[in-house]
């Protein structure tokens, strides 16, 4: 009798620990490794193009519209500010051809240097989607770069 009680207790303890472990993994996995903005931004040697920051939240880009100087290199700083939610940054040229594709996990910052040499509107959006829910773009996560 005593040994059965002990077995049940040990199993409960095992499952409790398993649940706690899985909860820990689910909470922290998408955010790891957590890097500060400074660490995450690779340093370029030499050229130092002007930087423009776009924050990615659930489910909006901020700002959603930026004006970019034609033919000038520009560093786009993409910061995923969402808690646990991964986003991507898909940029198209005025003809609808994708010219940049970046997956940015929760808490991550990426730096991409672009030179847009053709005037026009460059739409960008996040097409991430969870199961049957609407995509982030459908939730309003889109914007545009304007090259006058």
Binding site for Cu ion (CB under 5 A): 87, 126, 128, 136, 141
For residue 47, what is the enclosing H or E element? none
Taken in order 118, 56, 32, 44, the sign of the CA dihedral is positive
Q: CB nearer to Cu ion: give 65 or 69.
A: 65
The CB-of-115 to Cu ion minimum distance in angstroms stands at 25
- From the CB of 53, what's the least distance to Cu ion, in Å? 17
Q: Which is nearer to Cu ion, 111 or 136 (CB)?
A: 136
Query: Is-contact 64 57, C-beta < 8 A?
Result: no
C-beta of 86: minimal distance to Cu ion in Å? 7
State the DSSP code for 42. Answer: P
Stated as kind and residue range, the H or E segment containing 28 is helix 2-28
Measured from the CB atom, the residue of 87 and 111 that comes closer to Cu ion is 87
């Amino acid at each position: 009798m005593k040994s059965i009680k002990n077995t049940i207790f040990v199993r409960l303890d095992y499952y409790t620990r398993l649940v706690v472990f899985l909860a820990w993994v689910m909470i922290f996995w998408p955010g790891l490794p957590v890097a500060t903005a400074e660490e995450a931004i690779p340093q370029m040697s030499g050229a130092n193009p002007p930087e423009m920051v776009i924050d990615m939240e659930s489910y909006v880009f901020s700002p959603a519209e930026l004006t970019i100087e034609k033919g000038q290199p520009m560093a786009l700083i993409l910061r995923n500010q969402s808690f646990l939610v991964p986003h991507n940054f898909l940029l198209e040229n005025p003809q609808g051809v994708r010219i940049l594709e970046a997956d940015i996990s929760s808490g991550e910052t990426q730096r991409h240097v672009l030179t847009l040499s053709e005037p026009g509107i460059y739409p960008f959006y996040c097409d991430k989607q969870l199961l049957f829910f609407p995509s982030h773009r459908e939730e309003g996560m889109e914007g545009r770069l304007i090259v006058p």
